Structure 1
Amino acid sequence: MDDFKVPFAAYSALFRAVNNSMFINDKLSNKIVWMSNGNKEVNMEIFNEKRLKSILFKEIKSLYNDRINFHDLNLARLGEGDINNFLIERFYLVEDNDYGYSGLYEIFPKTFRCEKCDDFRIFQNEKEWAEFDVNKCRVSGCDGSYTQVPFVGFCETCGEISSIFHNCENHGHEHLKLIRKDINAPGTWKIRCTECNNEMDMMNFCNHRKHTLSDKDIRKLKPINVNQGGIFRSIVKTTIDIADYGESKDIDIILLGAYLHYWDKYFDEESDLYDEEIIEDVVYYLDMLEKYSSERDRRKAVRRGINPEVFEEGEKIKKDVDNLKEEYDFSYSELNDYFILKKRFSEDEENQNINFYDIVKDNEKSLKEYVKFKREIGIEEITYIPDIHIISSSIGVIKGINRSDENIVPHFEPHWKSQKDKDTFRAFSFPFETEGIMFDLDKEKLVKWIFDNSNKEWDKNISAEEFLFELDECSQEYKNLKTLIHTFSHILINRSSLYTGLNSDSCGELLFPKAGAFLIYSTSNINIGGFSFVFENSLFEWFNNVKLEVNDCVFDPTCIDEHGACFSCVYLPEFVCSHFNDFLDRDVFLGENRFKKGYWE
């Protein structure tokens, strides 16, 4: 058979193409073995790799250590110092063989059965695989051909994925037959040696004790059909790329401080680029403080002409940075992404953000329609962003079954540089430029809705903006908020093809619950200006009948009674959805089942 060393195009569903990802090609299941490192001229530049690395490492560390702790595995946890073993590698996507290969994939699993006599083929070495003829049964007198048996075994204790492999003690693996007692129940299937009639379960037991992965009792592997997905599922983190402000380790907390006006007392800037210049100044003071860390070094610097006030102000700023870290212990990088997008400035007038109010403010009829529309839909502001620098990164895979159950922690595995040496790990990142529309919900209405569906009372001394900003991410109120914003995003993406020219497969989303907002952007490698067109010409039409779509699903009443979301109403393809179709429920708008009051009531 071919060695399958061919280029793999991945523009349509980028993060299905990472190490261990599965895909179907020519009716055969395949697994990607490796991806090329794309740090070459064909890739866009990543402006701030230090910030990206910090954000991604924090996510990887949390997911991997949570898995180890929950399943009590004998694996080394990631510590802060492991960021030095973490690499950012860019996708190398090519369409011309002259530029090499994007990666290598192979048939997986290598298990086949004869469609006529059920002869079962497994392979002990590459020589056996190379000599395998899929169109010719090895059993004498049988003229059948082979078809892939697309099952692997998954251990729910340690997370290992294993191909089916059996050996008869007396006759090896040369005379095996697959016995499918119940075709629809692979757990009942057997492997029989035709020489001695010895019969074995198709699924072995996982010996994680032998491999020192876990001290728990060995358990039988669970059969999973790789053609139905969910074997190795890529976890993608999407962030906004920003300017590189130097060597500062605290860039996100500095950004947050700028938007909270923490630094106003130190600087008096009149420029429209106030935030950016403030950030550069803060970084300069902190860098100087770190560069001249000792009193002796500072005295020498002063003698060379550096103003001693630099160090005095630096100490004050550093104290404020430390205070901010203590005050805000949540993941503020996502909130900063929102601020970066909303407060974006450009000297190029054609690339300025556009508020929809500026489109309609000079037309009295349109302005009245917009005011009414905002009140009915619960939106505060809509902003078109013409030039977004986005980085999508695959940080690892979920192995086996990923239940939508908060009591189960999935088996997350980083992208190790080598399966033998699990010290170095990496993320596959793809930077690109695009356009999008930011939807800011009415914060007053949003917080009122949160408390209408909570047993708590709103302290009116705290503004709606402050309440959202400080909302505990582990609280039920935050989960309700995230569900509302996420469902809203999916509804609009599902309708996008009618008005933007982009189908749902060519859209992406970023959620900003603490800002009460979400961004829908284009992921198409050809920017056709669909969001620009709908923003300027048919924004109201995009929302037409949106309430009717929320009311009905063809699988109601089951859908609305159980979860309020399914593949027939608000689900999106998993490579489009930022949260794998979790945190979705149409009832956030209806208030008929799990919510006391709907957002649109």
Structure 2
Amino acid sequence: MDGMRGRNLVDAPAATDTDSLRRMLKERGFDDATIAAMVAAMPPRSEERPTAIDLAPAVRERAQREARQIALANFESRITVSDLKNAAAGIQTKQLYDDVYPKALRRAGLERVELVDRFPVLTGQFGYTRGDATPGKSRLRTYREMNGDYTIYGELVQTEALFLRLDPLWIHRWMSARGRQLAAASTSRDAAIALLQDMSGSSSDFSVASDSDRLLITLIHSFCHAFIKRAAVFAGIERSALSELVLPYCFGFFVYSAARGDFILGGLQALFESELHTMLDGLVEDEQRCALDPGCADNGGACAVCLHLGEPSCRMFNTMLARSTLAGGAGYFDLTAAE
């Protein structure tokens, strides 16, 4: 809710629930001795506990799961714009990070953009298919031992990634303009709570989500696809080599590059360090129409020409996308530009 103010999960505010932290580290694979040492290294807890937030159980579960994913992804590496500013040499470079970057983030309705240069990606192979290539006709053949146990062949690699979190206050304004009846909010935390309280988290299938969930997910997902299409150009990376991890209940997403063995190109890092402002300005200001309009706009406002990505890149199979959430008169960028 507070935007991960600490450097990583062990630097969390003093009121952090140690039981939740222990579960998170256990899921990560740490042994009991290491977990005990990490918990002991945390600053003393305050006696004042945070006020309980009334959320639907399904929404709370999803938000907590996504928050854990963010915390674990940033466990070994996290580079912020403030870090760039502190390490900058020269007046022009300091001005870039101190003045130009914050303005570009503000115009795009982003709360923050951060670099994770050791982003963990686990790829598991459960089986293979045999039979007719027609969808629904093929048969999955799993890897099984003689005793009946299933085998999964996995590969864990580290790559580079960018994490973008949209400003909850901007989302609050945008969704209110779209007709959602949200509680009043004056701070980012209040806005985040109001947004989550409007969610239902009623289904694990995004395709049948409620109106409020669908509106938020479509905004985050559309922003992610628009960002990937431009980031590929600025970072010098093939578009199909960039993938997404959309975390709508934490108002953000990861964009990461597919690692080739132990080699990481460094394109996202170069983008983050030198061209982020130019890319974001273009994302907000450049043409938002599709070459296939009006046909594309009449059929959802998302197609292979404008927002769709290849299958290796999109985890949601190009569903819940719409250019109208970003621009066109009532889009997210229209709202931020008016401020």
Q: Under TM normalisation by the shorter chain, which class is it?
A: 0.5 to 0.7
Mapped contact 1:384–1:438 kept (Cα < 8 A): yes
Q: Using the alignment, how far apart are the partners of 1:260 and 1:477 within structure 2?
A: 33
Equivalent position of 1:445 in the other structure: 170
TM-superposed deviation, 1:375 = 1.9
1:160-559 equivalence runs, <5 A:
261-263=15-17, 280-281=35-36, 328-330=60-62, 332-342=64-74, 344-345=75-76, 352-360=77-85, 363-364=94-95, 366-393=97-124, 416-417=142-143, 427=152, 429-460=154-185, 463-469=190-196, 471-474=199-202, 475-525=210-260, 526-547=263-284, 551-559=288-296
Match of 2:243, as an amino acid? G
Aligned to 1:569: 306
CA distance in 2, matches of 1:591, 1:428: 46
**Offset of residue 415 of structure 1:** 5.4
In 2, Cα distance between equivalents of 1:544 and 1:578: 26
Residue 222 of structure 2 contacts residue 326 of structure 2 at CA under 8 Å; is this kept in 1?
Answer: no
Q: Which residue of 2 aligns with 1:137?
A: none
Give matches, 1:142-161, under 5 Å.
none
Query: In structure 2, what is the Cα distance between the partners aligned to 1:581 and 1:260?
Result: 40
Distance, in Å, in 2 between the alignment partners of 1:501 and 1:437 is: 15
Contact 2:82/2:97, CA 8 A, preserved across alignment: no
Q: For each residue in 1:205-237, what CA deviation from the matched residue of structure 2 results, as whole angstroms up to 9, or x when unmatched?
A: xxxxxxxxxxxxxxxxxxxxxxxxxxxxxxxxx
Contact 1:416 1:424 survives alignment (8 Å): no
- Mapped partners of 1:377, 1:385: distance in 2: 21
Q: How does 1:57-72 map to 2 (within 5 A)?
A: none
Equivalent residue for 1:198?
none
SS for the counterpart of 1:336 is helix
Q: Work out whether residues 66 and 250 of structure 2, in 8 Å CA contact, stay in contact via their aligned partners in 1.
A: no
State the alpha-carbon separation in 1 of the partners of residues 123 and 176 from structure 2: 34
* Partner SS state of residue 518, structure 1: strand
Cα deviation, 1:124-146, whole Å, max 9, x if unaligned, reads: xxxxxxxxxxxxxxxxxxxxxxx
Q: Which amino acid aligns with 2:81?
A: F
For the pair shown, which has the larger CA radius of gyration, 1 or 2? Answer: 1
Find the aligned partners of 1:456 and 1:396 in 2 and give their Cα distance: 46
CA gap of 1:544–1:327, structure 2 versus 1, over 3 A, is: closer
Distance 1:536 1:331, change over 3 A: closer
1:52-99 per-residue CA deviation (whole Å, 9 max, x = no partner) reads xxxxxxxxxxxxxxxxxxxxxxxxxxxxxxxxxxxxxxxxxxxxxxxx
| 3-state SS, counterpart of residue 538 of structure 1 | helix
Which SS does the other structure have where 1:493 is aligned?
helix
Report sequence identity in percent.
Answer: 21
Structure 1 residue 486 displacement after superposition: 1.3
State the 1:335 CA deviation. Answer: 2.9
Q: What amino acid is the match of 1:598?
A: G
Kindly state the Cα deviation for residue 531 of structure 1 after the two structures are TM-superposed: 1.1
**Partner secondary structure for residue 338 of structure 1:** helix
**Cα deviation 1:401-455 (Å, max 9, x = unaligned):** 87xxxxxxx899865447xx9x865655332110111111111111222232234
2: CA distance, partners of 1:397 / 1:549: 43
Residues 548, 427 of structure 1: alpha-carbon distance in 2 compared, 3 angstrom cutoff: farther
Structure 1 residues 564, 548: closer, same or farther in 2, change over 3 A?
farther
**TM-score normalized by the length of structure 1:** 0.40
CA separation in 1, counterparts of 2:237 and 2:102? 27
CA 1:547–1:559: 2 relative to 1, 3 Å: farther
Amino acid at match of 1:464: A
Give, in whole Å, the separation in 2 of the partners of 1:584 and 1:327. Answer: 21
Q: Which has the higher strand share?
A: 1
Q: Any conservation in 2 of the 1:565–1:586 contact (CA below 8 Å)?
A: yes
| Structure with the larger helix share | 2
Q: Is contact 1:395–1:414 with CA below 8 Å preserved after alignment? A: no
Q: 1:455 to 1:380 in 2, by over 3 A?
A: closer
- How has the CA–CA distance of structure 1 residues 413 and 391 changed in structure 2, closer, same or farther, with 3 Å as cutoff? farther
Asked if 1 retains the 8 angstrom alpha-carbon contact of 2:180 and 2:212, the reply is no
Residues 336-384 of structure 1: CA distance to partner in whole angstroms, max 9, x if unpaired? 1112234x25xxxxxx421113324773465222232122100111111
Alignment CA distance shift 1:438-1:412 (3 Å): farther
Question: Aligned in 2, Cα 1:333/1:263: closer, same or farther, shift over 3 Å?
Answer: closer
User: Cα distance, 1:496 vs. partner?
Assistant: 2.6
**5+ unaligned residues in a row in structure 2: which ranges?**
1-8, 22-29, 40-56, 203-209, 335-339
Structure 1 residue identity aligned to 2:171: L
The C-alpha deviation readout for 1:540-587, integer Å capped at 9, x for no partner, is: 122242235562111011112221110011111111111111111111
Q: 1:260 to 1:334 in 2, by over 3 A?
A: farther
Letter in 2 for 1:263: D
Q: Which amino acid aligns with 2:333?
A: W
Change in CA separation of 1:278 and 1:486 when aligned onto 2, cut-off 3 Å: farther
2:323 partner amino acid: R
How far is 1:489 from its partner?
A: 1.4
For 1:516, the aligned partner's letter is F
Question: Quick one: distance in 2 between partners of 1:443 and 1:400?
Answer: 44
Q: How far apart, CA to CA, are the structure 2 residues paired with 1:546 and 1:327? A: 30
Indicate the SS of the match to 1:578. coil
Mapped contact 2:182–2:194 kept (Cα < 8 A) = no
Work out whether residues 113 and 165 of structure 2, in 8 Å CA contact, stay in contact via their aligned partners in 1: yes
Q: Which amino acid aligns with 1:600?
A: F
Query: Which residue pairs with 2:45 in the alignment?
Result: none
Larger displacement relative to structure 2 (330-339 or 516-525): 330-339
Query: In the alignment, what sits opposite 1:599?
Result: 332
Contact 1:396 1:412 in 2 (8 A): no
